[in-house]
Amino acid sequence: MEQVYWNPTMETMPREQLRALQNERLRDVVRRVYEHVPFYRNKMQQLGITPNDIHGVEDLHLLPFTEKQDLRNNYPFGLFAVPQSEIVRIHASSGTTGKPSVAGYTSGDVDRWAELMARAMYCANVGKSDIVQVAYGYGLFTGGLGAHAGGEAVGCSVIPTSSGNTKRQIQMMKDLGTDILACTPSYALLIADTAIEMGYDPAKDFKVSGVILGAEPASEGMRDEIRQKLGVQYCDVYGLSEVMGPGVAMECSASHGLHVAEDHFYPEIVDPDTLKPVPDGTYGELVFTTLTRECCPLVRYRTRDVTRIINEECSCGRTHRKIDRIIGRTDDMMIIRGVNVFPSQIESVIMQIPQISPHYMLYIRREGYHDTLEVQVELVDGSLLDSFAALEELTATIRAKLR
Ligand code: DLL
């Protein structure tokens, strides 16, 4: 099949030219954060550097890292580089405790995001005449609106089903003739399994030919099962709300690995213990410097995701470097059905309930590819065990608070 690009100039730019563009954009972003974000100015002053010391990506090592905790310490808007009047959208994702990390977007940020998701759609061979069903959640989570904007930019017919109501999703897929399904891998499998239960053979009875899946890890086995049950081409899309949302990196149909949109995000892989860069091909923690974000520029943001750079020419013709599938995290974040969950969030809820002690166990179980999380807690006063009604009431309270 002939390869098509959404933005051929950028996606196939010769590497030397791309490096020059990255250097120019890096100088600009460093100057912007220095001038507009006190957090970065203070950090740089402590390190004795100014924007004049940063000439290009070879100087990145001079700059400080940014951590999720820094976002939390500056909650909600402390790392924003533009006045509120410039912000047209706010998203949020779960933080390590009760407070989420908040990301703002200028209209330029929203436009660039739509472009990057349109590139992702083209990577998956999606075109104007395709019907795209977006079954990522719409709302504070970036999946729904991100995929939606990309589909509309391409000119597809987008069906914003959002997540949930699986039987209705399946009916839409069948009746409207969905070509492309965008959702989390675990939800794609649930859709496939539910359709099978309803008596369909999705690979034969549905028109769907491709999936754009992300927001959580999927093993090779899971990817195969999705390919086979739905009869589709699989495209992995990666992103995180702090850095933009889906579309930071995307898998092309040519070969293994996800192209990072390197004209907008500069990737580094570092050893999580020493924080020193590791050679290409070695697994480590993925770190991003945003090169074009206006509202929330981030310098050397530690994603905590573990992957490696695949430094090989890709037969699709895109010149942007690829990362491998995400294989894990360097912190304790769990992703349960696409939702990021930190044990510390659960702990902060448990601590508020006087009848239970702060000791708890978390059990993640996987039935098929469907994750469930069980929280086991200890009673402070064992006599509660004598009253079934009191125990039921406490369980209901804990469940409601956790939810
Ligand atoms: O999950 C953005 C997104 C939406 C990406 C839809 C792809 C599709 P957050 O909620 O901030 O943003 O969660 C980001 O999810 O640091 C990874 O740990 C994980 N993640 C995202 N995409 C992938 C992927 C969205 N393709 C966190 N493979 C990230 C594995 C992924 N893990």
- Residue 227: both structure tokens together: 């390919």
pLDDT of 47 strictly over 60 = yes
246 lines ligand 1 (CB under 6 A): yes
Residues 365-374 pLDDT 10s: 988 778 889 9
What is the average per-residue pLDDT within 253-266? 94
- Over residues 109-128, mean pLDDT: 97
Q: Give the phi and the psi of residue 127 in degrees, each rounded to 5.
A: -130, 180
What pLDDT is attached to residue 96?
64
Q: Ligand 1 centroid to 194 CA: how many Å?
A: 24
Say whether pLDDT at 403 is over 80. Answer: yes
CA 390 to chain centre: 41
Query: Is the pLDDT at 168 greater than 90, yes or no?
Result: yes
Could you tell me which of 77, 135, 68, 134 has the C-alpha nearest to residue 105? 77
Grade residue 97 by pLDDT with cuts at 50, 70 and 90.
low
Strands 210-214 and 180-183, bridge-based pairing: parallel
Q: Is the CB of 151 under 6 A from ligand 1?
A: no
pLDDT score at 95: 67
- Cβ atoms of residues 71 and 307 within 8 Å: no
Q: 214 CB under 6 A from ligand 1?
A: yes
Query: Which ligand 1 atom sits closest to the C-alpha of 326?
Result: 30
H helices within 231-327, ranges in order? Answer: none
| Contact status, residue 373 vs residue 334, Cβ threshold 8 Å | yes
Q: Which atom of ligand 1 is nearest to the CA of 325?
A: 28
Bridge partners of residue 238, in order along the sequence: 249
Kind of pairing between the strands at 157-159 and 131-134: parallel
User: Is 133 near ligand 1, meaning CB less than 6 Å away?
Assistant: no
Nearest residue CA, atom 28 of ligand 1?
217
Q: Among 321, 268, 323, which residue's Cα sits nearest to residue 290? A: 268
Tell me the torsion sign for CA atoms 160, 235, 146, 14.
Answer: negative
The model's pLDDT over 229-257, given as tens digits with 9 standing for 90+, comes to 999 999 999 999 999 999 999 999 887 89
Asked whether the beta carbons of 72 and 99 are under 8 A apart, the reply is yes
Buried-exposed string 155-184: b where 16+ CB fall within 10 A, e elsewhere: ebbbbebbbeebeebbebbbeeebbbbbbb
Give the closest residue to 150 by CA, choosing from 101, 192, 199, 110: 110
**Cβ–ligand 1 contact at 216 (below 6 Å):** yes
Our answer on whether the CB atom of 238 is closer than 6 Å to any ligand 1 atom is: yes
CA of residue 338 to ligand 1 center, whole Å: 8
Distance 377 CA to ligand 1 centre (A): 29
Measure 386 CA to ligand 1 centroid, in angstroms. 44
Q: Which atom of ligand 1 lies nearest, measured to the CA of 217?
A: 30
Q: Which two tokens stand for residue 375?
A: 């929280």
Q: Whose CA is nearest to atom 16 of ligand 1?
A: 240
* CA 269 to ligand 1 center in whole angstroms: 17
Residue 98 pLDDT exceeds 70: no
CA gap 238, 273 in Å, rounded: 24
Taking only the tens place, the pLDDT of each residue in 12-26 is: 999 999 999 999 999
pLDDT confidence tier of residue 359, bands split at 50, 70 and 90: confident
Q: Where are the alpha helices (DSSP H) in 155-272?
A: 166-176, 185-197, 202-205, 220-230
CB 186 near ligand 1, within 6 Å: no
The answer to whether the CB of 371 is under 6 A from ligand 1 is no
Q: What is the pLDDT of residue 3?
A: 67
What's the rounded Cα separation, in Å, for the pair 127 and 4? 10
Q: Determine if ligand 1 sits within 6 Å of the CB of residue 185.
A: no
Average pLDDT in the chain: 94
Atom of ligand 1 nearest to the CA of 329: 18
Whole-number pLDDT of residue 99: 78
387 falls in which pLDDT band (50, 70, 90)?
confident
Q: Which residue is closest in CA terms to ligand 1's atom 18?
A: 305
Q: Using the predicted structure, report yes or no on whether residue 260 has a pLDDT greater than 70.
A: yes
Protein residue with least CA distance to atom 1, ligand 1: 215
Q: Write the pLDDT tens digit of every residue in 133-153.
A: 999 999 999 999 999 999 999
What is the percent of the chain with per-residue pLDDT over 70, rounded to a whole number?
Answer: 98
pLDDT digits (tens, 9 = 90+) for 24-46: 999 999 999 999 999 999 999 99
Q: Does the pLDDT at position 2 exceed 80?
A: no
Q: Tokens 């590791």 label which residue?
A: 278
Q: CA 382 to CA 386: how far, in whole Å?
A: 8
What does the pLDDT read at residue 343? 86
Q: How far apart are the C-alpha atoms of 12 and 317, rounded to whole Å?
A: 6
- In short, whether 245's Cβ falls inside 6 Å of ligand 1 is yes
What confidence tens digit (pLDDT) does each residue in 177-190 have? 999 999 999 999 99
Of the listed ranges 7-16, 65-74, 320-329, 385-394, the one predicted with least confidence: 385-394
Cα 282 to middle of ligand 1, angstroms: 21
The confidence score (pLDDT) of residue 371 equals 87
Question: What whole-number distance in Å separates Cα of residue 298 and Cα of residue 265?
Answer: 10
